[in-house]
Each structure stands twice: as structure tokens, then as C-alpha cells.
A = this chain, B = another copy of it.
Amino acid sequence: MGKIAVLYDSLSGNTQKMAELVAEGARRLEGMEVRVVSISEADAAEVARKADGIALGSPCNLGVMSWRLKRFWDEQMEPYWMSLDGKIGCAFSSAGAWGGGSEITCQALNTILMNFGFLTFGLTDYVSKTASAHYGAIAVREPRDEEVKESCRKLGERLAEWVGAYIDRNPGLHPLVREPGRKRPGA
């Protein structure tokens, strides 16, 4: 079955809490092997290398990822460049405030994944009337509100769906097949 890595850096613990929710969502698909791993763990690069899909999370620091997360990709992942093409990736970020740069950080995280040849995605679905994760899941500080929590879970679930449908070649896991009644907001 598919392997999912939820790879994150966290200083305050907020992004770590998002990571756990993303993993919770990925586990909604039976049989997925889901691992939550901090970049400070010794085998983080190895876990990332072996994963079929990666959800990459960082605190939003100055509208960009943390320097530690960047160093991890520059140094520990760099040897694997040109050998990871075709993995599936997505992003999540916690900022100090709405408007604080979490979306822009997700975009920068997706840029790194794209540079490594990943296929990157966001969610079309609205999780609630006021929460979405179109370019990655975002939170202000710790994810507390149920809608923010669910946007993290839903991101992980979608990652598992793409890994299942495309890498494990199980078309029944495609979200348009799994959730045929998906509706547009207001529809």
C-alpha cells in the first residue's frame, strides 16, 4: 500500500499539531502507511525518500518557511534530487495571524516540492463556509477551531487519495469516485 510522510518543522508545536491532523486524515484510507516525522529526526530524509506522497509543513516565518526546513531540503534531501520525480506533495503552515503569510509559505513549500519533481496539489473543496485549503492547509497558531482541524485532515485524506489512485493504481480511491456527491458551496 501507499506510503505517506507528513514531514514538518515546528518550534512552538503549532505546526506539529497540524502535522498530526494531516496524518489523521491520511489514515482515513485503509491500508495507508502514514508516518509523521520532524525534520530533526535522524531518519527524516530516509522516510521522505521512501514515501509515495509527502505533506510538507512549516511555520510561516517572515512569509517563508523556517530556515531549518530549508536547510533540510538543501542539505539532507539534495542527494536525492533527480530520483524522486513523480511523488505527490502538498503543504501546510501555521502563521501568527490571518494575513501573516501562511498561504505564501505554502506556495514556497510547493515550489520546493515542484523543484524535486513532485506533483503538487491543493483542495478544491471548502471544508466549511469559511475554511478551505486551496493551496495548502493554513492555521493561525495552534489549530483549535474544528474547521481548521478538518482542513488539515482533509488535506491528508486527499494526499492519500492521490497516492492510492495514481501511485498504487487503485482508481476507486480517486476523490471523484469516492465522493460522487461532492457539492459546490451553496449548491
Contact = CB atoms under 8 A, between A and B. Distances in A.
A119 interface: yes
Interface residues of A, number: 73
A20 B176 CA distance: 31
Interface stretch (A27-35, A40-48, A106-114): A106-114
A85 B135 contact: no
A141 B83 CA distance: 24
Contacts of A185: 96
A99 B104 contact: no
A175 B132 contact: no
Contact of A108 (B68, B96, B100, B108): B108
Given A62-B73, A63-B135, A119 B116 contact: no
B107 A104 contact: yes
A14 interface: no
A107 B101 CA distance: 10
B162 A86 contact: yes
A18 interface: no
Interface of A: 61-68, 70-71, 73-75, 81-83, 85-86, 88, 96-104, 107-108, 110-112, 114-126, 128-138, 140-141, 151, 162, 165-167, 169, 171, 174-176, 182-185
29 contacts: A62-B74, A62-B111, A62-B112, A63-B114, A63-B135, A64-B65, A64-B112, A66-B70, A66-B74, A67-B70, A70-B70, A82-B183, A82-B184, A85-B174, A86-B174, A86-B176, A97-B128, A98-B138, A99-B138, A100-B132, A104-B111, A107-B111, A114-B121, A119-B119, A119-B120, A130-B140, A165-B166, A166-B167, A169-B169
